[in-house]
Amino acid sequence: MPGSSNLIAGIVSFLLTLMIFSYLLGDNPLFRVAVYVFVGVSAGYVAAVILYQVILADLLVPLFTASLIERLLLIIPMILSVLIMMKISRQLSWLGSPAMAYLVGAGAAVAVGGAVLGTLFPQTLAAFNFPSFISAISDRTGAEAQRLAYGLVVAFGTISTLIYFQFGAGVQQDGTVSRSRIVEIISWVGRIFIAITFGMLFAGLYAAAMTALIERLNFIINFFGSF
């Protein structure tokens, strides 16, 4: 028999689970209430994390404990934070536009830099790892041959996928796109690689959803079994 606190938490979790499962019968107020609760709790948690780990730890506390130079540097983010708060008011929302523009620009720069340095360059180097190819060709062992085959598949999949997106295509006078027979064949192979990729992504999402469903069903069974 669970304790009083665990019993209340279990009952609330059980009711919320049933409210989420009610979506199987269609969109209804119970499902919406559960979604609103989830969004509200998530927003409250994020606000608490930002308040204690960002505003207090990185802004307010250093204003009283840091050196003079660090305090002067903290004036800029403090002013930008106050300007963003002006977005709450319709009359003063224009004051927050520069801070919002800086925030969006910095976020976009970080996202692009992360995508280029963390994804594009490493994937390009992995697709065209010439030293690995050369060592694999010179060494006739099974492991090196397997690595060579893997590298060739990655490289060909990357090239064929890029060619699929109209690279090397010419536009006729009537607006139709024409490409050579070889390019069309490689593009068709690239379409297969894209389909396989999307299929694997869907399979991963489906597996994650099934894992969450099994966990919730297991929770319900264990909740009733605890009595």
Q: Which residues contact 180 (CB under 8 A, 6 or more apart)?
A: 168
Please determine, for residue 169, whether its predicted confidence score (pLDDT) is greater than 70. Answer: no
Enumerate the β-bridge partners of residue 170.
178
Token couple for 67 = 């050196």
Task: Tokens 């690279």: give the residue.
Answer: 167
**Whole-number pLDDT of residue 20:** 86
Nearest in space to 216 (alpha carbons), one of 13, 9, 8: 13
Q: How confident is the model at residue 42 (pLDDT cuts 50, 70, 90)?
A: very high
Taking only the tens place, the pLDDT of each residue in 171-223 is: 666 666 666 778 788 888 889 999 998 999 999 998 998 888 888 888 878 87
Rounded to two decimals, the pTM is 0.57
pLDDT for 36: 94
Residue 203 backbone class (left: φ over 0; alpha: ψ -120 to 50; beta: rest): alpha
> Secondary structure of the chain in the HEC alphabet?
CCCHHHHHHHHHHHHHHHHHHHHHHCCCHHHHHHHHHHHHHHHHHHHHHHHHHHHHHHHHHHHHHCCHHHHHHHHHHHHHHHHHHHHHCCCCHHHHHHHHHHHHHHHHHHHHHHHHHHHHHHHHHHHCCHHHHHHHHHCCCHHHHHHHHHHHHHHHHHHHHHHHCCCCCEECCCCCEECCHHHHHHHHHHHHHHHHHHHHHHHHHHHHHHHHHHHHHHHHHHHHHCC
Q: What distance lies between CA 29 and its chain's CA centroid?
A: 29
Say what percent of the chain tops pLDDT 70.
81
Q: Residue type for 103, please?
A: L
The residue among 211 and 127 whose pLDDT is bigger is: 211
